[in-house]
Structure 1
Amino acid sequence: MTDTTSKAKQLTGFKHTKPGLMVGLGGSAWGAFGIVKDIRKARAEGDTLKLVNAAVGALALVTATALLVRELRRLGDDDILLG
């Protein structure tokens, strides 16, 4: 196995670790700023299509955040120290 292959295998599981999920939550929080900006801009321009697009993006962001929180809770359930 080459050195890059072993590093790739190590990183594939990172998404399902507590730090990986925290990075995902941070990305979701950062994305919220962009969505708020898009909603304000669409309202100012009176562009209904852009407003609908921003609302759908917000819904997707809420769903992704809920999935990340659920995964964090599952990781917490497996932790012996948390009870």
Structure 2
Amino acid sequence: MSIGKKKPKSKASTYLSIGTTLFGVVSVSRQLREARSEGDKLRLADALVSAASIVTGVALLARELRRMAQDEGGVLADERD
């Protein structure tokens, strides 16, 4: 397997990743709220790192959805004529 190219994700895998990411958002928001209310700086730092990870994951999922839409000529594909 070459390092530069990866096998594209299936639709089901992409949608499962979206659901997992949404669950992560709920979990991290709860963790942030609890850490702030308790004044626990270490837990707050952990929650912020987790939030950054989720943001990165969302960006990767958005890119994957754009690629899938372009491959299928779907609604999300960029129309550049």
TM-score range, shorter chain: 0.7 to 0.9
Q: Secondary structure at the match of 1:58?
A: helix
Is 1:59 the equivalent of 2:52?
Answer: yes
TM-score, normalized by length of structure 2?
A: 0.77
- Give the number of aligned pairs: 70
Aligned match of 1:3: none
Q: Which sections of structure 1, spanning at least 5 residues, go unmatched?
A: 1-12
Which residues of 2 match residues 34-49 of structure 1 at below 5 A? 34-49=27-42
Structure number with greater Rg is 1
Higher relative contact order (CA 8 A, sep 6+): 1
Identity value in percent? 36
More helix by share: 1
Match of 1:31 among 24, 30, 33: 24
Q: For 2:61 and 2:74, how far apart are their aligned partners in 1?
A: 21
Q: Which sections of structure 2, spanning at least 5 residues, go unmatched?
A: 1-6
